[in-house]
């Protein structure tokens, strides 16, 4: 009997004391600014939901000492310092922002560096002592930082506490493995997370500026360490006592289950994966984490928790890859082919790593009766590790602080023999000789000044913007604030752009981006209304395209097609090729000057699908292209008195992507008859 009681109390202890399931109530009583806008037809708000501060172990290593509060000040338009000492400031403030520090080891690095803390005496911490003291914040020092990072992180996990250490038993009892590591200080971790929560709640200014409590769940496969990173975003001002991290589980399905559990406690959240391009095809696999077949339950679990994907950021764009979309002339855009974190860089297999391919896979899965786990909306974000991103090509500072603050270190300007010490001497860096000298190769040259999230929301509040994410009424841009409206439906062809109420009518007769349209009785093809507007501070628009993908009902073969639907400068789409004629926009590579009076301030069209087949599941999304401008690497080069590096694109066509609208035929989920070849049996 006694044993039984003991057993029961142990079980209760384990089940009750998981701090990742304890909700800390931090209510805020903020009233929306009475002068702020409310628009039932929704406004577009721009934000960055992927921002690291000193609490991220790697950001601190890269020299970042700014706090989440500093990050929010940057987003509101104030000036903050880059670790290398220069000022960072946005041209226009952002509407929403989320600090998303890495969940695991959150706050720890700063504590290691501060030699007055207890944890700085732990084995393995000494290499970090005084790391970011002012005298150590030098470009030369950036060189050794990445090395330190890679070597020490794995050692952390090899040093568990002894059986006599009460912390080890706390680790077991509170279901928190991290506490069992000698290098881990639970109080430091909790207070860093509390700071993230408090900073978000303090900086929230309903009506004018929205913040979200969030963090990054930085996980990867156990097979080859393939990237499965995702950010978690909370809806309310309350949050769990600690974030659920990769130390708890490396399986994203466990993260979603955890999100389900805290949702039951009233804490709604959504997650969005990023850098699928560097996941070696693992992000959108046709199987589960443990290699089980997809199922309706898996699809429901994933879609309930991950309705959004961050498809563009500094580490490349994951729209599609030239190998996956050989007939898309614009597929070769900010392609980053290295697996995330691979040193030296290893090639990331494209299939399963890009969103267009994932949409096709989702339709395929659904057709075979296992649900669609890839029916997500799109956003862009930066993944900056220095509080704020340089999203303009002409003012780019990459993202990893001291490591890539110098153009020579990021491969846009040649490095002389004497200056080799400005380049991070990590395993993956090597040099390649081009006409103008030796350049760094190995990844950073393929990063870019991207991206931003756009959300169509009634007002600038947490609820409204979170709901836009939930509805997938979101869009992504590679940096500029291009606005794009997108509606689909069977009666939208009756609307005209001269009608002052066109948007209202579009909401009434169709669905906005992120929505679904279903088969009708008639054979009529669906129509799509698109309206794009340039960024006041960006380049004029060149064309608007619809990208359509579908799965044949007859034989399950996928097709994909890019249609130009609106051309700049009054040009007309060639109905044979579905392409706009060249609008003549050019860039002078010597000065980065662009053609004047070419391109459009707005582009709009109502387009009816000419290749519609009512039996085929399909998706449609918008891509808006700006006129070409100089890429950041070209700006770097001409400023330093060089020509652009030969193997990089000189120019870039910055762009926006809408979330798709899906068309679902009747009986879409019934698997088509499987024909068995009798001779083969």
Pick between residue 118 and residue 647 the one whose CB is nearest to another protein: 118
Stretch that binds another protein, among 9-17, 212-220, 231-239, 456-464 (CB under 8 A): 9-17
- Among the listed residues 497, 582, 588, 610, the single contact to another protein using CB under 8 A: 497
* Residues ≥6 apart with Cβ < 8 Å to 454: 44, 45, 46, 379, 474, 475, 476, 477, 481, 483, 484, 656
For 181-207, the DSSP string reads: BTT--HHHHHHHHHHHHHHHHHH-BTT
| Vertex 377 angle, CA 482 and 44, to 5° | 35
118 interacts with another protein by CB under 8 A: yes
291 interacts with another protein by CB under 8 A: no
Within 13 Å, how many C-alpha atoms sit on residue 594's CB side? 20
- Nearest approach in angstroms of CB 30 to another protein is 7
116 interacts with another protein by CB under 8 A: yes
Identify the three-state secondary structure at position 594: strand
What token pair was written down for 337? 């082919």
Q: Which of 207, 119, 196, 187 is nearest to 156 (CA)?
A: 119
- Among the listed residues 264, 417, 433, 500, the single contact to another protein using CB under 8 A: 500
Q: How far apart (Å, rounded) are the C-alpha atoms in residues 231 and 214?
A: 7
79 interacts with another protein by CB under 8 A: no
- Nearest approach in angstroms of CB 289 to another protein is 34
* Binding-site string for another protein from residue 197 to residue 226, where x marks contact by CB under 8 A and - marks none: -----xx-x---------------------
Size of the site for another protein (CB under 8 A): 35
664 interacts with another protein by CB under 8 A: no
Rg (CA), the chain: 25
Pick between residue 158 and residue 536 the one whose CB is nearest to another protein: 536
What token pair was written down for 287? 């199987």
Pick between residue 117 and residue 147 the one whose CB is nearest to another protein: 117
Stretch that binds another protein, among 265-273, 347-355, 449-457, 531-539 (CB under 8 A): 531-539
508 interacts with another protein by CB under 8 A: no
* Residues ≥6 apart with Cβ < 8 Å to 324: 331, 350, 351, 354, 356, 357
Pick between residue 68 and residue 103 the one whose CB is nearest to another protein: 68
- Nearest approach in angstroms of CB 5 to another protein is 11
Pick between residue 120 and residue 464 the one whose CB is nearest to another protein: 120
Decide if 534 contacts 550 (C-beta within 8 A).
Answer: no
* Binding-site string for another protein from residue 160 to residue 199, where x marks contact by CB under 8 A and - marks none: ----------------------------------------
Residues numbered 617-656 forming contacts with another protein, rule: CB under 8 A: none
Residues numbered 559-598 forming contacts with another protein, rule: CB under 8 A: 570
- Nearest approach in angstroms of CB 116 to another protein is 4
- Among the listed residues 601, 608, 639, 646, the single contact to another protein using CB under 8 A: 601
Q: How far apart (Å, rounded) are the C-alpha atoms in residues 373 and 669?
A: 13
158 interacts with another protein by CB under 8 A: no
Identify the three-state secondary structure at position 573: coil
Q: How far apart (Å, rounded) are the C-alpha atoms in residues 472 and 486?
A: 12
Q: How far apart (Å, rounded) are the C-alpha atoms in residues 39 and 665?
A: 33
Pick between residue 412 and residue 533 the one whose CB is nearest to another protein: 533
Residues numbered 18-57 forming contacts with another protein, rule: CB under 8 A: 30, 35-37, 39, 41
Pick between residue 58 and residue 535 the one whose CB is nearest to another protein: 535
Pick between residue 25 and residue 597 the one whose CB is nearest to another protein: 597
Phi, psi of 674 (to 5 degrees): -90, 120
Within 13 Å, how many C-alpha atoms sit on residue 485's CB side? 22
Write out the H or E segment, with its range, that includes residue 566: strand 558-567
534 interacts with another protein by CB under 8 A: yes
- Among the listed residues 421, 602, 615, 650, the single contact to another protein using CB under 8 A: 602
> Where would I find the H helices in 372-501?
462-471
Q: How far apart (Å, rounded) are the C-alpha atoms in residues 560 and 635?
A: 35
- Nearest approach in angstroms of CB 401 to another protein is 21
Residues near another protein (CB under 8 A) are 9, 12-13, 16, 30, 35-37, 39, 41, 69, 92, 115-118, 121, 202-203, 205, 483, 485, 497-500, 502, 531, 533-534, 536, 570, 600-602
């Amino acid at each position: 009997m006694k044993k039984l009681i003991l057993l029961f109390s142990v079980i209760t202890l384990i089940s009750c004391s998981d701090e990742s399931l304890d909700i800390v109530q931090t209510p805020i009583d903020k009233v929306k600014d009475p002068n702020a806008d409310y628009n039932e037809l929704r406004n577009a708000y721009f934000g960055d939901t992927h921002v690291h501060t000193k609490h991220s172990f790697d950001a601190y290593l890269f020299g970042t000492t700014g706090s989440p509060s500093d990050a929010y000040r940057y987003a509101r338009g104030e000036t903050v310092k880059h670790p290398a000492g220069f000022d960072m400031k946005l041209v226009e403030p952002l509407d929403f922002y989320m600090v998303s520090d890495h969940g695991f080891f959150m706050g720890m690095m700063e504590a290691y560096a501060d030699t007055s803390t207890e944890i700085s005496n732990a084995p393995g911490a000494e290499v970090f002592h005084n790391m970011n003291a002012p005298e150590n914040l030098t470009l030369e020092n950036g060189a050794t930082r990445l090395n330190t990072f890679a070597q020490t992180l794995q050692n952390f996990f090899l040093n568990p506490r002894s059986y006599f250490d009460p912390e080890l038993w706390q680790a077991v009892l509170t279901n928190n493995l991290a506490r069992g590591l000698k290098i881990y200080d639970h109080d430091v971790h909790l207070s860093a997370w509390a700071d993230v929560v408090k900073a978000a709640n303090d900086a929230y200014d309903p009506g004018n500026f929205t913040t979200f409590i969030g963090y990054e769940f930085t996980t990867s496969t156990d097979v080859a360490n393939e990237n499965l990173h995702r950010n978690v975003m909370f809806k309310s001002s309350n949050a769990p006592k600690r974030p659920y991290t990769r130390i708890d589980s490396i399986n994203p399905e466990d993260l979603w289950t955890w999100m389900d559990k805290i949702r039951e406690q009233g804490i709604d959240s959504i997650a969005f994966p990023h850098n699928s391009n560097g996941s070696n095809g693992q992000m959108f696999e046709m199987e589960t984490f443990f290699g089980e077949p997809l199922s309706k339950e898996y699809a429901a679990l994933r879609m309930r928790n991950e309705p959004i994907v961050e498809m563009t950021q500094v580490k490349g764009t994951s729209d599609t890859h030239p190998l996956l979309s050989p007939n898309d002339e614009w597929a070769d855009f900010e392609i980053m082919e290295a697996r995330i974190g691979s040193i030296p860089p290893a090639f990331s297999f494209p299939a399963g790593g890009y969103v267009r391919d994932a949409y096709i896979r989702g339709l395929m899965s659904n057709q075979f009766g296992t649900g669609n786990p890839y029916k997500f909306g799109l956003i862009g974000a930066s993944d900056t590790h220095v509080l704020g991103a340089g999203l303009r090509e002409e003012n780019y500072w990459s993202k990893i602080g001291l490591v890539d603050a110098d153009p020579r270190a990021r491969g846009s300007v040649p490095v002389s023999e004497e200056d080799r010490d400005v380049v991070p001497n990590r395993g993956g860096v090597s040099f390649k000789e081009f006409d103008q000298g030796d350049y760094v190769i190995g990844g950073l040259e393929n990063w870019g000044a991207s991206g931003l999230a756009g959300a169509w929301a009634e007002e600038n509040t947490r609820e409204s913007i979170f709901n836009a994410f939930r509805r997938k009424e979101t869009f992504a841009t590679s940096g500029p604030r291009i606005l794009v409206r997108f509606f689909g439906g069977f009666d939208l062809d009756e609307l005209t752009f001269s009608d002052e109420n066109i948007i209202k009518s579009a909401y009434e007769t169709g669905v906005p981006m992120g929505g679904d349209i279903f088969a009708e009785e008639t054979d009529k093809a669906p129509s799509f209304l698109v309206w794009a507007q340039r960024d006041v501070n960006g380049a004029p628009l060149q064309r608007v395209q619809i990208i359509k993908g579908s799965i044949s009902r007859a034989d399950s073969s996928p097709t994909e097609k890019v249609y130009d639907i609106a051309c700049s400068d009054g040009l007309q789409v060639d109905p044979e090729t579905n392409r706009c004629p060249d609008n003549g926009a050019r860039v002078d590579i010597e000065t980065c000057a662009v053609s004047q009076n070419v391109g459009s301030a707005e582009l709009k069209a109502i387009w009816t699908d000419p290749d519609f087949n009512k039996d085929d599941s399909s998706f449609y999304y918008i891509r808006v292209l700006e006129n070409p401008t100089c890429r950041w690497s070209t700006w770097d080069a001409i400023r330093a008195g060089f020509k652009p590096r030969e193997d990089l694109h000189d120019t870039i066509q910055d762009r926006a992507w809408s979330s798709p609208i899906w068309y679902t035929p009747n009986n879409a989920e019934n698997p088509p008859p499987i024909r068995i070849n009798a001779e083969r049996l």
